[in-house]
Structure 1
Amino acid sequence: MIKMKLEQIERVKKISKSDFISQYVKKQIPVVIEELTEDWPAFHKWKLSYIKEVAGETVVPLYDNRPVNHEEGFNEAHRTMKMSDYINLLEEKPTNYRIFLYNLMKQVPSLKNDFLWPEIGLKLVKQLPMLFFGGENSKVFMHYDIDYSNILHFHFHGEKQCMLFAPDQSKYMYKVPHALISREDIDFDDPDYEKWPALKNAKGYITNLKHGEMLYMPEGYWHYMKYLTPGFSMSLRSFPQNIVNLSKAAYNVLIMRYFDIVMRKFKGQKWIDYKNEKAIENTNQYLRKAS
């Protein structure tokens, strides 16, 4: 049985600004900082029971693992539910329903008092951070972020597995063109190398995040997340420092996203199918050239 080439992400308990920037940001290498949040109120308070208490009546958007569909809008939710009912579901049984990129702090301003903007050397975007929730074994498909930001990803309540690939591994990832995702029918927990042979060449990173730990994800890194237990995470962002990545981010936000929306509208499912076929064709073409 062939396993993916995955290296454990480096870990430190604490780190100075200068060391974080020189050893990880400048080199664009991921790292886990284990004790960055220990002086935050969130470290002691942010459990599912607390979120249920302060945000239970809030109606939240939920997403499951269904493939991209031309009839659905960009990041359109699959259903909605009161937060209290959703947390009950998380605690009751495994579920694929996730909360993705949700600004819960806008609905519940008191949550803003529970975290501190870390003094870590990055100029963070001071907008309200997004929260992500998931049930046991729920998965976030392999993708990279539209804005190529440097991301500080904090996890709370339970354990979450994170798999990362650097941008230079995109050639092996069966990247869907005019999108930010790999083929959604790839099982990155147990890939079928007969069907997806390029993945045998991909070299990535992996770690399990526990309560209060922070994962630094460099600019444009692919990431696949799996909730090993029910839990939730928060991301803080810093704009890309690499000028090439900044231009790619601008293209994604201002052109690519809207081009894809228009093509979905006029071509429908044929556009989705075409992109999925091109993902295989482009990757296989690279493999032939490299061999």
Structure 2
Amino acid sequence: MMRERLQLVEIPRVKNISKADFLERYVKPQKPVVIEHLIEDWPAYKKWSLEYIEEVAGEKIVPLYDDRPISSEYKFNEPHLKMKMSEYIALLKSKPTNYRIFLYHLMKEVPALQKDFKFPDMGLRFLKQLPMLFFGGENSKVFMHYDIDFANILHFQFHGKKQCILYPPSQSKFLYKVPHALISREDIDFSNPDFEKFPALKEAEGYVTQLNHGETLYMPEGYWHQMTYLTPGFSMSLRATSRNITNFSKAVYNLAFMRYFDNYMRKLRGQKWIDYKNEQAIVNTHKKNNIKT
């Protein structure tokens, strides 16, 4: 039903691909692709499951986030809850939950995990810092956003399935981007969008796929992405620097100025600043698209 409403086409899939073909067919034109068998030689491909993570990291205290909208109640990126990894995994297995893990360096806390993956030889200049793992419960959602550093991303799915919706940067004008931020309006439900409130969404042309265990999603620079965990599971991302000088400049601006300005305004104006930005997301989008409200 969702695909009949949003303009989404399936992301192309390949079983395997050479470095030359990957660069020519997907990186150079900045198109997404799912590679189904890229990591079958990794130890992680067979080892990594929720049970294994519980075995090696069960006693670690982990930060959890749910899908509540950003507000002045919490500091930026402040977790909503903390618990032991073993307790969190038990929660994932027991029932659907909105609680997710991100912005947590599990590999730093559990060095044994670092031996289970490698940086693929795909022609990308990977950032060599330890990658993060992302966990989510059934039906939990990651809001629509793009990444602050405009990286090329290889996103690897483990233990479970998730739906991924992508939009290229060219579609930003339809996505109700919040000013001084990297997100669209958080009250947009991309599984059942309200086209009366957000009519510009009808014009946005994007991609969708279901990502399964062991599959790799390539997300080009600055692509918007929204994830829905169809089952409990987790994933990992490797990041590569921008190849496009304009995107590299945008990344520098975001990292050096935009996030600090936004944090300053949050402290200065609190919830009024957040409400103002959400209002401007609608005003700006409708103005760009000549939509009368």
For residues 113-192 of structure 1, the aligned pairs below 5 Å read: 113-192=115-194
1:9 to 8, 11, 19: 11
Question: Secondary structure at 1:288's aligned position in 2?
Answer: coil
What's the CA shift string for 1:54-77, capped at 9, x where partnerless? 000011100000100123222111
Q: Give the aligned residue type for 2:50.
A: L
> How far apart, in 1, do the equivalents of 2:278 and 2:53 lie?
38
TM-score, length-scaled by structure 1: 0.98
* Corresponding position of 1:227: 229
3-state secondary structure, aligned to 1:65: coil
Q: In the alignment, residue 37 of structure 2 is paired with which amino acid?
A: E
In structure 2, distance between residues paired with 1:48 and 1:114: 15
2:71 alignment partner AA:
N
Match of 2:203 among 186, 201, 204: 201
- Take 1:68 and 1:84, find their aligned partners in 2: how far apart are those partners? 27
Other structure's SS at 2:103 match: strand
The Cα offsets for residues 229-273 of structure 1, whole Å up to 9 and x where unpaired, read as 000000000011111100110111110000000000010110000
The CA distance in 2 between the partners of 1:216 and 1:261, in whole Å, is 31
Secondary structure of the 2:181 match is coil
SS in 1 for 2:40: coil
Per-residue deviation at 1:116?
1.5
Letter in 1 for 2:109: Q
Of 67-76 and 160-169, more deviation after overlay is shown by 67-76
Partners in 1 of 2:89 and 2:178 — Cα distance?
33
Equivalences for 1:33-52 in 2 at 5 Å?
A: 33-52=35-54
Paired with 2:73 and 2:100, the residues of 1 have a C-alpha distance of 20
1:78 aligns with 2:80: yes
Matches of 1:54 and 1:185, distance apart in 2 = 37
Residue type at the aligned position of 2:128: K
User: Could you report, residue by residue, the CA deviation over 1:145-177 in whole angstroms, capped at 9, with x for unpaired residues?
Assistant: 000000000000010100000001000000000
- 1:278 correspondence with 2:280: yes
1:289 Cα shift? 7.8
Q: Structure 1: state its 5+ residue gaps.
A: none
Secondary structure of the 1:101 match is coil
Q: Scaled by the length of structure 2, what TM-score is found? A: 0.97
Aligned to 2:97: 95
Q: Any stretches of 5+ residues in structure 2 without a counterpart?
A: none
User: Residues 74-122 of structure 1, C-alpha deviation per residue, up to 9 Å, x if partnerless?
Assistant: 2111111100000000000000000013210000000001112111111
**Distance in 2 of aligned mates of 1:86 and 1:21:** 39
Q: Which residue of 2 aligns with 1:214?
A: 216
**Amino acid of the structure 2 residue aligned with 1:28:** Q
1:261 aligns with 263
% same residue: 68
